[in-house]
Amino acid sequence: MRPRLDVVRGLCYSGYRNEQSPELGILPSYDEVKEDLLLLQDDWQSLRLYASDAHSQTVLEVIRDEGLTFTVMLGAYVTAEVDNPDCPWGGVYSSRQLKENQRHNDFEIAELIRLSQIFSDIVVCVSIGNEAAVSWTDHRVPTLRLIEFANRLKGQVIQPVTFCENYVPWQFELASLAEVLDIISIHSYPVWEHKSVDEGLEFTIANYQSVAMAYPDHQVIITEAGWATASNGRGIEPQQVSESAQRRYFEALMQWSEQAQVLIYYFEAFDENWKGSAHPLEPEKHWGLYRADRTPKLAMS
């Protein structure tokens, strides 16, 4: 088992602004990333990045070249290698697409290795994927393939290896994967599971404890937990979300993180208007502590 991660203030970061997205291939510039990180540096110590791509390389270069003190959890953006007909928004692909996705995933893991080696003084943990095992995912990857990715990384990088997933699969089908990981990373979203802000912290603590008790020999961390600030009713009742609710959950969660000494990467830094449907109140767009124009919401005011 590789060294445990320090408990610091962690934040999920994606720098895509309006009119930018990975789907369009329009990426934030060096100066835009620099502006973001200068805004965040006084309040946060570690960033979680989701892909080993050009955007993440820019983030790492900004940290290095500008002498910033952030550490980074660097991830691989893995895509579907098998169908998942249980996904509500489409998880079935042609055999040709699935083979192409496998090639993409192999390349992404290779890029994760490359960037982790180049920026070994900044990258403190590597993740083989994000939400690729949960029942509703549209990018399901078999557990044996995830184990293969983890073993490949452990042979070529010095950082501890993890996988970032909803808390539920860790309780059941991911035990064999956990055996080869150094760290277990869970996600908890009380508002997606119809909890009020009064119930939010208790629900997240219960999610965490259900996994931590199952793997007493592992460091268990939270790599996503947050509260939306708007919703059009798709999956989240509009009355449950607001900036004041986000602030209450955020402050309670950060206080618990420090008291319990549990590393948390809060989700997320900035609203991402490229996500989800075109509806302006689509909840996927409204998880940031800052708006897309980089003005702070109540939690960061």
pLDDT tens per residue across span 125-175: 999 999 999 999 999 999 999 999 999 999 999 999 999 999 999 998 999
pLDDT, tens only, 188-225? 999 999 999 999 999 999 999 999 999 999 999 999 99
- Per-residue pLDDT, averaged over 68-94, amounts to 97
pLDDT, tens only, 86-128? 999 999 999 999 999 999 999 999 999 999 999 999 999 999 9
User: Comparing C-alpha atoms, which of 112, 3, 44 is closest to residue 268?
Assistant: 44
Q: How confident is the model at residue 85 (pLDDT cuts 50, 70, 90)?
A: very high
Q: pLDDT exceeding 70 applies to what percent of the chain?
A: 100
What phi and psi values does residue 29 have, to the nearest 5 degrees? -80, 170
* CA pair distance 163, 182, nearest whole angstrom: 9
Q: Select the CATH number that applies to the domain covering 9-226+261-271 from these four: 3.30.1330.10, 3.20.20.80, 3.40.640.10, 1.10.10.10.
A: 3.20.20.80
Cβ-contact 16, 294 below 8 angstroms: no
Alpha helices in 86-196 (DSSP H): 95-118, 143-154, 167-170, 175-178
Q: Helix, strand, or coil here: 280?
A: coil
User: Comparing C-alpha atoms, which of 58, 52, 51 is closest to residue 36?
Assistant: 58
The Cα-based distances of 105 to 80, 116, 139, 141, 183 in angstroms read 9, 16, 11, 10, 21
Residue 1 is predicted with a pLDDT of 76
Residue 172 is predicted with a pLDDT of 86
The Cα-based distances of 36 to 3, 125, 241 in angstroms read 30, 22, 25
Whole-number CA gyration radius for the chain? 18
| pTM: predicted TM-score of the whole model, two decimal places | 0.97
- Count Cα neighbours of 147 within 13 Å in the Cβ-side half-sphere: 11
What phi and psi values does residue 158 have, to the nearest 5 degrees? -95, -15
Q: Where are the domains of the chain?
A: 9-226+261-271
